[in-house]
Chains A and B, each alone.
Chain A
Amino acid sequence: DSVLTQSPATLSLSPGERATLFCRASQSVGGYLAWYQQKPGQSPRLLIYDASIRATGTPARFRGSGSGTDFTLTISSLEPEDFAIYYCQHRSNWPLFTFGPGTRVDLK
Chain B
Amino acid sequence: QVQLVESGGGVVQPGKSLRLSCVVSGFSFSHYAMQWVRQAPGKGLEWVALVSSNGDEKYYADSVKGRFSVSRDNSENTLVLQMDSLRPEDTAVYYCARRNSDYFDYWGQGTQVTVTS
Contact = CB atoms under 8 A, between A and B. Distances in A.
Indicate, yes or no, whether A interacts with B.
yes
Given A43-B95, A95-B50, A87 B103 contact: no
A87 B97 CA distance: 15
Contacts of A97: 35, 47, 50, 102
Given A43-B108, A43-B110, A55-B105, A95 B44 contact: no
Interface in B28-45: 33, 35, 37, 44-45
B27 interface: no
A42 B37 CA distance: 14
Interface residues of B, number: 21
Interface residues of A, number: 24
A45 B37 CA distance: 13
Interface of B: 33, 35, 37, 44-47, 50, 57, 59, 61, 95, 101-105, 107-110
Interface of A: 32, 34, 36, 38, 42-46, 49-50, 55, 87, 89-91, 95-102
